[in-house]
Amino acid sequence: MNPARPSWNWLLALLALLLLPALALGRLGLSFDRAWLFSAAGALSLATFALYAADKGRAKAGGARVPEIVLHALELLGGWPGALIAQQTVRHKNAKAGYQVWFWAIVMLHQLVALDYLLGWPIFAAVRAVG
């Protein structure tokens, strides 16, 4: 597979992972400006992709690297789609097991929060009732 051309299966998986967050943002758009929400999410993903690409270039050149905590922070703030695209197209941070564990935990957290929001926060309410 050419690293710059992800497979159709990978693209379908990305679309599936974007479904719940997109639905949640769309619902949140009933209270806030939907165009602003989607633009902000897209800009954050673009910034995350750009930082991955820059870090890959620095890694090849032997320059100063972007700390992994910075990359994870951007993923957590919502830039995980850009990170996932960069991992597949730039081939950066996609083989480091420890990094991938944290990355996929962040992606699953986004899925869980989106689902919980769409269902009216039952998980949040249950956790709050226990604590």
Domain boundaries, the chain: 8-130
Helices marked H in the chain: 8-28, 34-61, 68-74, 80-89, 97-118, 122-130
Maximum alpha-carbon separation in the chain: 52
Q: Could you tell me which residues come within 8 angstroms of residue 96 by beta carbon, excluding any fewer than 6 positions away?
A: none
pLDDT digit of tens for each residue in the chain (131 aa)?
Answer: 455 555 788 889 999 999 999 999 999 988 888 899 999 999 999 999 999 999 999 999 999 999 999 999 999 999 999 999 999 999 899 889 999 999 999 999 999 999 999 999 999 999 999 97
Q: Whole-prediction pTM value?
A: 0.89
**Both tokens of residue 34?**
């939907």
User: Are 78 and 43 contacting, i.e. CB atoms less than 8 angstroms apart?
Assistant: no
